[in-house]
Structure 1
Amino acid sequence: MTTAASWLAPVIFAAALLVRTAIGEFRRPGSARQALSFVTDGIALAGGAVAGAAVIWLGRSQAGPAAAGWALLVGTLTAHMVHHSRPRP
């Protein structure tokens, strides 16, 4: 697999998530702020960083430099899930 082809899938997934967030913001103003609130949650970011590091560590031999793209996508999705799964006070 070429490097350009291995970057294609995470870029497509990231673009789809961005478009989904933008459409949600047009339909319901303020929803993007709520969807992206995980960026200010330290525990969620730590979980995403651990998941991203694991993807780079385990996937660099197979995906090469594209493992960084996958790690960014996996880390972002993990942080989002950790943030939204925790109970709020």
Structure 2
Amino acid sequence: MDAGLIARAVIIAELVVRTALAELRMPGAARAEWPVALDPGALAAAAAVLTVVSAVGASRPAVAWGLIAAALTGSFVHQPARCGR
């Protein structure tokens, strides 16, 4: 397994675990931490970036990069007015 892939997988896992622990401590925290999940425009942009990066790379490292790029794109495109937050 590529060392670079392991590093990206650790970053993604850290985000997931941090969100899960915050949700266990205070229900509703994940919704506050990831408001992009309620914004359809941001989700569409993130899905498009994930699809393109994964298709162009066509490998497991490309999918890992696609997940990171999709999360960043979603947070950049997120507009609180669209999702009521």
**Same fold, judged at TM 0.5 (above):** yes
Which of 42, 65, 68 does residue 63 from structure 2 map onto?
68
Partner of 1:87: 80
Deviating above 4 A after TM superposition, structure 1's stretches of 4 or more consecutive aligned residues are: none
**TM-score between the two structures when normalised by the length of structure 1:** 0.64
2:45 and 2:6 map into 1 onto residues whose CA distance is: 25
Unaligned segments of structure 2, at least 5 residues = none
- Which whole-Å CA distance do the structure 2 matches of 1:72 and 1:10 have between them? 9
What does 1:40-59 correspond to in 2, within 5 Å? Answer: 40-53=38-51, 55-56=53-54, 57=56
Match of 1:32 in 2: 30
Q: Indicate the percent of aligned positions where both proteins have the same amino acid.
A: 35
Mark the runs of 5 or more structure 1 residues left unpaired by the alignment: none
Could you say which residue in structure 1 is the equivalent of 2:7? 9
Matched letter for residue 63 of structure 2: A
Distance in structure 2 (CA, Å) of the matches to 1:22 and 1:87? 23
Whole-angstrom distance in 1 between the partners of 2:37 and 2:27: 19
TM-score normalised according to structure 2 size: 0.66
